[in-house]
Amino acid sequence: MTAELDFSRGAAFCEGRFVPIAEAKISILDWGFTRSDVTYDVVHARNGAFFRLADHLDRFERSLKVFRLAPPYDRGQIETILGQCVVLSGLRDAYVAMVCTRGRPRVAGSRKPADCDNTFAAYAIPWIDVIPLDVQARGAHLWIASTPRIPAASIDPTAKNYHWGDLTRGLFEAHDAGADTAVLLDAEGYVTEGPGFNVFAIRNGEVLTPDRGALEGITRQSVLDVCAAAGIPARIAPLRADDLLDADEVFCATTAGGVMPASRVNGRILSNDRPGPLSLRLRELYWSLHDTGRHATPVNFDDADHPFKT
Amino acid sequence: MTAELDFSRGAAFCEGRFVPIAEAKISILDWGFTRSDVTYDVVHARNGAFFRLADHLDRFERSLKVFRLAPPYDRGQIETILGQCVVLSGLRDAYVAMVCTRGRPRVAGSRKPADCDNTFAAYAIPWIDVIPLDVQARGAHLWIASTPRIPAASIDPTAKNYHWGDLTRGLFEAHDAGADTAVLLDAEGYVTEGPGFNVFAIRNGEVLTPDRGALEGITRQSVLDVCAAAGIPARIAPLRADDLLDADEVFCATTAGGVMPASRVNGRILSNDRPGPLSLRLRELYWSLHDTGRHATPVNFDDADHPFKT
């Protein structure tokens, strides 16, 4: 059946079946939409293999626990579904998302999250760079927004969520100022993260990334891993706006883009207005880590009959 | 064409056409979902007429401005669409929502909200009581949650949004404690609102509702209006947890439920463990306000050919 469908722009698993990405939709009444009561994770495939898939699945499970969500599929089934989305899409480099929403109440009229049947969806679409490649090439221009990040006490930033209103407001501030993207501080003035990425500062050869208000990024972990392997000092530490403004180099890190160098923060020029040397080295080390195969889970592209039945 | 469709469970306008509510869906890639970059409003129809429709449309326009969203339809068209949803549903008492999402970028790969084509959807479904009627009858048991409300500096609570993660967490706290629903405080300990309603305290005959961290509810306004008309003192003022716990009466107010009395707060019994007398009087005055026709916009149920064409 699926053989007749066009998955070339992406393949999704939605409402229990595989569909082209254009048909992947959720009900306008799903609390995942009307209450942003949803969690997700994104893993990437590179050269036909998932990268750090187990880490992403581990984090997805932690996020599910935080939000008290339970998808109707177990970890093994989810892994099969993700693989099948990539197979159907035919994409060897892909952005692969898994999503669990609260769904809708089983009990008519109930307003209790516990009465809802949670839903699961997944999709594989062409690779995305959170900061476009041409911008990465000259170094991203970051903007420290005045909008404060939603506090961890209200929404746990280590559990992936779609509460992006503060990040969107920050993005508008950045674009209004002619910058590429935003970095948000918390109410106490500490650096947290940007829309979809962790941020790093390099000072005197040391690599620093915020200790609060941010996702515990898996790409962030890869950066710390390659630093450790290469003997580059790196630390998770409190950072303030001045630590970015006065840094020798700044870069961003995320699954959808990898290590992405910056060259300006609030108009202030860093590393001669181009990607800094240590940022470039870390980018190279990050991609080299893929070549080792250490974190690779190959996708079986011959498996086009998608054994996963619902 | 639509004559063949079954709109009995609700009618929606979605992606430019009228569909049964079960078919009203949004793309899993719409930023309205993946970034909760969306605003909405809810108006109710009672006995075949919208109540305070102009006030809801005014607020929707203000919310759109706050989030820099622009639906592809103007106010007159939106009013027509809302009416048509009610007509198609055949519901004389209805919960009627209008929703504008950021949509998806026109420019492939763009991460800029300004590059997105915003979408508009609307739907009419059977009347909802945010607090079920049987619970209203004995008085709702409220729970002052320990999760703080997302601060206004991060997300403007006066612009309607789906950032409900804090409210959901509060709901879980309430349900875990055996209560019906939650009320959230801000980080400074001031009362804000609950999941989908404003909260009121009555002390010594005076009606009080929070001055911060809450939606400027249109039902809240109706309560203040009927108080003014009836000579009942009422005030928008800072309230702390103790102001609820020590109140003579407490009630909640929202479009989807009207005036909803409470009888307990964190297990503490108010007004003899039942809806208080002034709360009940305000509920009666609120519904009487509908009968005056002052705020009514009748729906033309003969208009089944839905003149709105896209």
- Confidence band for B310, pLDDT divided at 50, 70 and 90: very low
**Which of A183, A28, A34 is CA-nearest to residue B23?**
A28
Q: Tell whether the model's pLDDT for residue B2 goes beyond 90.
A: no
Segment B270-287 shows an average pLDDT of: 97
Report d(CA B11, CA B18) in Å as an integer. Answer: 7
Segment A15-42 shows an average pLDDT of: 98
Q: Say which amino acid occupies A179.
A: A
CB < 8 Å from B in window 186-205 of A: 187, 195-196
**B278, B250 contact by CB (below 8 A):** no
> What region does B103 belong to: left with phi over 0, alpha with psi -120 to 50, or beta?
left
Q: Is B105 on the interface with A (CB under 8 A)?
A: no
Listed in sequence order, the residues at least 6 apart from B205 whose beta carbon sits closer than 8 Å to its beta carbon are B232, B233, B278
Listed in sequence order, the residues at least 6 apart from A219 whose beta carbon sits closer than 8 Å to its beta carbon are A198, A253, A254, A255, A258, A259, A286
Q: What is the pLDDT of residues A266-289, one digit of tens each?
A: 999 999 999 999 999 999 999 999
Listed in sequence order, the residues at least 6 apart from B40 whose beta carbon sits closer than 8 Å to its beta carbon are A34, B60, B63, B97, B98, B99, B100, B160, B161, B162
Nearest to B154 among A12, A29, A147 (CB): A147
Give the per-residue pLDDT at A308.
Answer: 59
Contact B113 A168 (CB under 8 A): yes
**B287, B166 contact by CB (below 8 A):** no
Q: What is the pLDDT of residues B153-187, one digit of tens each?
A: 999 999 999 999 999 999 999 999 999 999 999 99
Segment A70-84 shows an average pLDDT of: 98
Q: Measure B36 CA to nearest chain A CA, in Å.
A: 6
Give the per-residue pLDDT at A304.
Answer: 63
**A40, A71 contact by CB (below 8 A):** no
Give the per-residue pLDDT at B4.
Answer: 76
Give the per-residue pLDDT at A306.
Answer: 57
- Confidence band for B305, pLDDT divided at 50, 70 and 90: low
Which of A8-17, A35-44, B295-304 comes out lowest in average pLDDT? B295-304
Q: Tell whether the model's pLDDT for residue A143 goes beyond 80.
A: yes
Give the per-residue pLDDT at A4.
Answer: 76
Q: Tell whether the model's pLDDT for residue A3 goes beyond 80.
A: no
Report d(CA A192, CA A144) in Å as an integer. Answer: 10
Q: Tell whether the model's pLDDT for residue B304 goes beyond 80.
A: no
Q: Is A34 on the interface with B (CB under 8 A)?
A: yes
For B75, other C-beta atoms within 10 Å of its C-beta total 13
Report d(CA A185, CA A193) in Å as an integer. Answer: 8
Give the per-residue pLDDT at B307.
Answer: 54
> What region does A272 belong to: left with phi over 0, alpha with psi -120 to 50, or beta?
left
Report d(CA B119, CA B70) in Å as an integer. Answer: 8
Give the per-residue pLDDT at B94.
Answer: 97
The DSSP secondary-structure symbol of A1 reads -
Give the per-residue pLDDT at A107.
Answer: 85
Report d(CA B287, CA B280) in Å as an integer. Answer: 11
φ/ψ (deg, to 5) at B186 = -85, 180
Residues of B in contact with A22 (CB under 8 A): 27
Give the per-residue pLDDT at A302.
Answer: 84
**Which of B277, B251, B279, B240 is CA-nearest to residue B141?**
B251
Task: Name the percent of chain A lying above pLDDT 90.
Answer: 94
Give the per-residue pLDDT at A310.
Answer: 46
**B28, A121 contact by CB (below 8 A):** yes
- Confidence band for B147, pLDDT divided at 50, 70 and 90: very high
Q: Is A154 on the interface with B (CB under 8 A)?
A: yes
Segment B11-35 shows an average pLDDT of: 97
Give the per-residue pLDDT at B3.
Answer: 56
Q: What is the pLDDT of residues A191-229, one digit of tens each?
A: 999 999 999 999 999 999 999 999 999 999 999 999 999
Element (H, E) at A224: helix A218-230
- Confidence band for A291, pLDDT divided at 50, 70 and 90: very high
Segment B290-295 shows an average pLDDT of: 95
Element (H, E) at A61: helix A53-67
**Alpha helix stretches (DSSP H) within chain B:** 31-34, 53-67, 75-89, 133-138, 165-176, 218-230, 241-245, 277-291
Q: Measure A54 CA to nearest chain B CA, in Å.
A: 23
Give the per-residue pLDDT at B225.
Answer: 98
Contact B163 A167 (CB under 8 A): no
Global pTM value: 0.96
Q: What is the pLDDT of residues B50-98, one digit of tens each?
A: 999 999 999 999 999 999 999 999 999 999 999 999 999 999 999 999 9
Residue corresponding to tokens 């990898």: A258
Nearest to B26 among A25, A113, A187 (CB): A25
Residues of A in contact with B256 (CB under 8 A): none
What six digits make up the tokens of B222?
């109706």
Report d(CA A164, CA A173) in Å as an integer. Answer: 14
| Helix orientation angle between A277-291 and A218-230, rounded to the nearest 10 degrees | 100
Average pLDDT across chain A, whole number:
95
Q: Tell whether the model's pLDDT for residue A1 goes beyond 80.
A: no
Give chain A's count of helices (H) and strands (E). 8, 16
Give the per-residue pLDDT at A309.
Answer: 53
Average pLDDT across chain B, whole number:
95
φ/ψ (deg, to 5) at A208 = -125, 140
Residue of B102, B155, B161, B180 to mutate when probing chain A, most A C-beta within 10 A = B155
